[in-house]
Each structure stands twice: as structure tokens, then as C-alpha cells.
Structure 1
């Protein structure tokens, strides 16, 4: 359940079926109800009884109608129906980006961390509200800043956290945890392996119970997006939307990352074929349909990877003929007569 869902539920419980506003960013938003909820949760607006000044509104499913609203979102002059405190009392998790190793990054890596945190705030706003994104050890200008993760946890009375760690002992699945920690780490140089685990060990020394979880895609971390904002979106899709991890990964997965995994998997789908003295590998075109069920790839991506790997793509009919041909045990290939 997202903030928008809570907002709609609270309005309906108060007998509101249509809500209006004069806020321009809400009116122009592709999801005006979600934007209203965000304004209220961020303390920039309240929900009050309609003053009768508007003759248009939005239904709770976001449809614009030429009817006066039951309630108004903005600066209230009449009785308040729903306050920020009432809306945000519903439990939502914290997403903490721990940047304790920020100074060990190159200038380009630091820029990428700042960009990814900014993008993470955009993701958090789709599901929750601004203060649910916490950034520690480095104030990058986005999210609620705390000097340390430990200080934040003490202030909120949080004793147990889930650390999204590629080396985690357990697979990540929906946990219902109160707080998730993502390492503010960008490793373009390959020198920061194990840094996320170090965050966990540092927290444990301060008495925090750390649940180390790794996100895997069908038994491997290859193909799992590693950008901070992508990790945040995966966990919010799973925790708040109830998606399974594989579906969440595919929804977030950039095609470039999907192709990394395709390169690793595709070899197992190939067949060795001997044509004279030459040995080639062929793959059935239908393999694409299997991969696109769980990888965010297009047919063009499939052909691009086959071309890179020098794999020939053949039809199901041709593959049947290949497998019906003579098997050369010594060379471990199907032997075709090239005449």
C-alpha cells in the first residue's frame, strides 16, 4: 500500500468522493491524487471542507470532473478534514542511504552517488514522502540528513535493520521491516568490494541487529540493478506493492543490465555444430521468449548479444534438423553435411 492508497482510504472514510485544489503542480500532474497526498504528507497542504469556490474536482481514482469537490487540498480556511499527522501515522519503512565511505570515492563516483540519491528521492515520493528517505554521513542536498546512521536509529528507537548487501547471507524477500539500509557506494574502480558488509559490521558494533539480505535473480546477482535508486525501487515494489522480487527486478532492470545476464545465460541454450572442420554454436530463436519472461530485453537485444557471441540464430524447424543429424562424440557436436 502506497501513501496514495492511504490518502484515498482516509478521504473515503470521511465521506469524501471528490477533491479539488488550486495547486498548479497537482493540476498538471499525471497522478493528481498521489501528488495531493505527497503535498499533505510533506506538510505543504491540508485537506479541508470545500469552500464552494471550485466547480471542478478529481474523483478518488484521479478522474477530472466538472463537479464541485467535497474537500479541498491547499491552505485551509475552513474545517480541516485530514492533517499531515493523521495521514503519516500509517507505518511506512525508512530507506537509509549510508554514505560513510563517500570520501573514498573518486570525484566522478561522488557525482554518481549524489545523482542516484536525487533519483531515489523521486522514487520514494512515488510510494511515500520525503522524510522517509534518510541520507547519513554526507549531506548531498536530497533526503533528510543525519550525521550518522547510528544517530538516526537511536533517535527513532530502531533496533533492527535490513541491509541490502550483495554478499548477504539470506535472500531478500518481503520482510515488513521498519528500516532498510542501502550502501551509498558506487564502485567503478572495483576497489570497494565488501564495503556494504562493513556498514553492517559497524552497526552491529553499536548494538544494532542487522539482517543481511542479497537481491538475486534466479540464483545470481548478475542482472540485478546496482544503482541506489534501482535498489530502492525494487524493495518498495516488494514491500509496498506486494510484487515478487523477480517481477520487481524486471520492472526496474535497465536493458544494459539485462544484457549482462543474457550473455551469461545464452551459452547454455546453444548447440555445437560441426560444418566440415569448422565448429559453430547455434541457438533457437524461441529462446528469446524464455528469456523475456524474466529479463527486460527486446528481440533486438537478443540478436545483438548473439552477434557479439558469434552465435547463429535458427528457427525451431532448423534446430530440429540439427539435433536429428549425426553426433560426433569426439568433437562434441552435431555434424552437418555442408554439401
Structure 2
């Protein structure tokens, strides 16, 4: 995003109002940022001239066309393979120094084989996430063992990157924080904009449930920075724990939403949404005494309020099933309340009809 905006300014300064790009340049995020990343990686070059045949998008006063050798519309410049460009234009981009993300891999050897594979995948996903907003050098991998590097190379055949990789620990510059789901402080928007560096443990515990691993890593690294957790309305339940998702939450808060809560909700997976709904349903449900024990129940209007995580209808149904919460009409619930066999749960008051 930052590089994309810089690119637009640089093109404007060169008098480029019509840019042709090849069909092979596929982007699933902000196109100017994607172009800037590809130029920095050396995959493509910027050259004067070229022809296009179809306008694909516009960014303020820049018209983007599909590059074609048979095109009839002249372009001020084109994006093409370096080998097809006799004299390329060098664009001096101001690479942002912060935010800077450090993934420390000191605990690599303690992972199972499948967890190691998952960890490599999350690191690769983190590179893609950082590229949507910044540049590869805003991501650093520290204490990277040779086995991790071998695995990374196997996963990344044909994949160029400029991520900083070190065999030793992090060299922290500026204000830093370690992101830890068991941290003793809660990360907020002021902290996110104030910190320069965010340290994340390279930890995947899908097959090993070990508490306090990030705290143990913190001690092993000899850090003296805050350890903060990301919460969602007072709980870490439903907050994504994948490394790339944690990075995404921070970046979205800075560059898009300005709100951690909105960023977390946007970053949640189906599993995260269902888990959070499960938690909310069990706390919001009325307790109804029956012959076979206590039933948990909510009304349809309560579900609408409980579903502030924007879950789909099927996800809501799954959460209801897993939480064993039944749905009653308002009349049915009022009957149980009048009989004195129903009582509110600890959070029911948050989701009943406003008076």
C-alpha cells in the first residue's frame, strides 16, 4: 500500500498518465502496490512506450491498460519483462523502516515434522501479508536454523524474496513489543502506532499443547520489552493465532481500520468465528431448568446481536450445534421466565432487546 502510493506519485512526476501492464501480472491486492513489489523484485521493468487495447482500471489520473503487441492505444509507459526492455526506468522508492516484524525461530527443533511444515507455510504467508502494505525487508527471521532454511528453499522454488534472515537473535532498534497470547498487557491502537518493532514467536503447537512457550522464548532471548496480547472484547478466544494473521491484524489496524477489533474480525477464519460464537452463546444464553437438567437457550433476536463477528448462517448453525444452545421464540422464553424456571446467563444483559 505504501509503495503503491509512492509508485503513483513517481509515475505522475514522470508525466505517465497511461500505463500498460502484461496480462501475466496477476495481483490479488492493491494493483499499484503489487506492481511496485514486482519492480523491486526484478520480475518486471518499467519502460517508456508500448500499446494497449483495454482499460482495466484507473487510479486517480492514471489509466491502466492491458499490454498488447496488437494494441491500438499508445501508452506513456509499460511494465514488461526486463529482457524486453532496452532502457528501463529506475524508480527510487523510499522503503519504510517501520513497522518492522521479527519472527524468531529459536524453538524450531521442538516442533513435530508437520508443525515445521506448517510453520514454513505461515512464514511464507507472512511475506505475502507484508507485501500488501510494505516491503520484504520489513520482515525479519531470526535464529533461523539450517533445517528451516532448507525447508524454506524447498517450499519457495521459483519464489524470490528479500526478507532479512539471520542465524542469530534479534537486534532490536526503536520501541518494541512481543506479541504473546498470554502476555500481561493488552495491545491497543496507541501501542500499535507507537511501537516500531513487533516480535512474534515462530511457534506452531497444533500437535503439542504447551502453555507459556512464547513467555519461555521471551526469557531465552533476554528481552526487556512489553509482552502484550491481542484481545477481542475482553477475551483472546477467536483471535487468530497464525503468525501471518497476527501480522495482518497489526497492519490492517495501522493502514486500514484504525481499530484492532475491526481488524481482528476481518482477519478471523471460519474456525475463529465459530469458536468465538460458541463462547458468546454459552455466556449469553438463558439457563432453563428442566427435568433432565439445565438447558441453554437464546432467542432469534439475541442471535443477531451475538453475531457481531459477521459469521455466515451456516457458521451460526454450527456454533449453536456445538454449544448445545437451543433457539426459542420470545413467547416461549417469556413463559419460562414467568414460571421462574429460566434465569439469565452472565452476559445475557448485553444481548437482550434494548428497552
Deviations 1:46-82 (A, max 9, x none): 434x23x3245665527537743223334354472x5
What is the CA distance between 1:125 and its match in structure 2? Answer: 2.1
Please say if residues 17 and 60 of structure 1, whose CA atoms lie closer than 8 Å, have aligned partners that are also in contact: no
For residue 100 of structure 1, the aligned residue among 90, 106, 110 is 106
What is the CA distance between 1:101 and its match in structure 2? Answer: 0.4
1:332 & 1:321 partners in 2: Cα distance? 12
Structure 2 counterparts to residues 52-131 of structure 1, below 5 A: 53-56=50-53, 60-61=58-59, 63-64=64-65, 67-74=73-80, 75=82, 76-78=85-87, 80=89, 82-83=90-91, 86-131=92-137
Residue equivalent to 1:337: none
Residue equivalent to 1:161: 176
Residue equivalent to 2:339: 326
1:199 & 1:274 partners in 2: Cα distance? 47
Residue equivalent to 1:298: 312
Residue equivalent to 1:17: 17
Runs of 5+ consecutive residues of structure 1 not aligned to the other structure: 334-339
User: Superposition RMSD on alpha carbons, in Å?
Assistant: 2.9
Residue equivalent to 1:336: none
What is the CA distance between 1:92 and its match in structure 2? Answer: 4.0
Residue equivalent to 2:202: 184
Please say if residues 17 and 59 of structure 1, whose CA atoms lie closer than 8 Å, have aligned partners that are also in contact: no
Residue equivalent to 2:230: 215
2:57 & 2:16 partners in 1: Cα distance? 9
Deviations 1:128-187 (A, max 9, x none): 23333222222233643211233xx27xxx243221111223222342333222111011
SS in 2 for 1:287: helix
Using structure 1 for the length normalisation, give the TM-score: 0.80
Deviations 1:308-339 (A, max 9, x none): 3332202334434443x2215xx869xxxxxx
Please say if residues 8 and 60 of structure 1, whose CA atoms lie closer than 8 Å, have aligned partners that are also in contact: no
SS in 2 for 1:119: helix
Structure 2 counterparts to residues 228-307 of structure 1, below 5 A: 228-274=243-289, 279-293=294-308, 295-307=309-321
Runs of 5+ consecutive residues of structure 2 not aligned to the other structure: 67-71, 157-162, 345-355
Aligned residues: 314
Residue equivalent to 1:35: 34
1:104 & 1:275 partners in 2: Cα distance? 49
